[in-house]
Amino acid sequence: MPKILVIRFSSIGDIVLTSPVIRCLKEQVKDAEIHFLTKQSFSPIFAENPHVDKVFGIQKKLAEVLPLLKKEGYDYIVDLHHNIRTKQVIWALNVPSKSFPKLNFKKWLLVQLKINAMPVLHIVDRYFKATQFFNINNDLKGLDFFIPAKDEVKTSELPSNFSKGYIAIVIGAQHFTKRMPNYKIIALCKSLPLPAVLIGGKEDLLNGKTIESELGNSVYNACGKYNLFQSASIIKQSKLVISHDTGMMHIAAAFNKKIISIWGNTVPEFGMYPYMPQHSKNNFVAEVKNLSCRPCSKIGKTSCPKGHFKCMNDIDLDEIGKAILKFEQSF
């Protein structure tokens, strides 16, 4: 019975993107025991995942878990983070390991010189390069995200005018340059065919209030009111999801939702767009193409380096409206 340690320390979206690898290892490697190493704050993501047998979480240092990992006697390590910290684990455990092509130089070329040498390949497919020990195949079933029963939200908890359906809008993002300004979100909401639930954390509460105050009862500000799983439940039950390049976008993809993904300083060419191999038409990408300063970062920035923030200010809401109309036909 091979015992396999999979490593991905952060963050929510990146961890959700590892789920096809975990599932295929568990289902295709006979009698495999799958353990996962991550940051403690992300370990609850695996609470209901039937493909993971054990989770180790670190608060600050690897030293917290290395003695426990050594006792497990792993046969293989699947490294899906590929950084100095994962190398420390590999050196300490001294077992066969594989990683994936991180393509940092090609990302650098795209960010710094605007030379696109990135392969037309989703990061999930690159993750599978780390499973070459096992001769497994991507089952193309997409992403997994499991919601505990206690965190399923009843839509009856939402305002009564949401009972016939709603659109979930993820208004937050980890970095300023990955988030549309409030005035754009307000203008977008005014054109929606259904009421909107605003999804975000406590840090998005004030922005949610600003948007809600302009739109009245056609918007419900859920920012900061629900935990990760509860927010995922609201997304799961929505008719459509509008999201920035965030972890919640990937959670929406795990439910094969119709998604309008909005891109600012980052670009889909990095290979982290919504992964729905059997439902690829469910994703509409909204972005400002041919902008000479974009992408300005592979992650995000606290402000626009140029000061104009055209990558978000110039997002074409009419194009998004057309995409919504197309999706609306199947609501």
Spell out the per-residue pLDDT of the chain, length 331, in tens. Answer: 899 999 999 999 999 999 999 999 999 999 999 999 999 999 999 999 999 999 999 999 999 999 999 999 999 999 999 999 999 999 999 999 999 999 999 999 999 999 999 999 999 999 999 999 998 999 999 999 999 999 999 999 999 999 999 999 999 999 999 999 999 999 999 999 999 999 999 999 999 999 999 999 999 999 999 999 999 999 999 999 999 999 999 999 999 999 999 999 999 999 999 999 999 999 999 999 999 999 999 999 999 999 999 999 999 999 999 999 999 998 8
- Characterize 228-244 residue by residue with b for buried, 16 or more Cβ atoms within 10 angstroms of its Cβ, and e for exposed: bbbbbbbbbbbbbbbbb
Contacts 24+ apart (CB under 8 A), 178-182: 178/244, 178/245, 178/246, 178/263, 178/264, 178/265, 178/266, 178/300, 179/244, 179/264, 179/312, 180/244, 180/262, 180/264, 180/312, 180/315, 181/309, 181/312, 181/313, 182/207, 182/210, 182/211
CATH fold of 3-131, please? Answer: Rossmann fold (3.40.50)
**Residue 21 contacts residue 128 (beta carbons within 8 Å):** yes
With 0-12 / 13-18 / 19 or more C-beta atoms within 10 angstroms meaning exposed / middle / buried, residue 154 is exposed
Q: Do domains 3-131 and 149-328 have the same CATH topology?
A: yes
Other CB atoms within a 10 A radius of the CB of residue 35 amount to 19
CATH fold of 149-328, please? Answer: Rossmann fold (3.40.50)
State residue 1's pLDDT score.
87
**Residue 36 contacts residue 22 (beta carbons within 8 Å):** yes
Three-class SS of 206-247: HHHHHHHHHHHHHEEECCCCCCHHHHHHHHHCCCEEEEECCH
State residue 149's pLDDT score.
97
Rounded to two decimals, the pTM is 0.97
Domain ranges of the chain: 3-131, 149-328
**At a CB cut-off of 8 Å and minimum separation 6, what does 131 contact?**
21, 24, 25, 78, 98
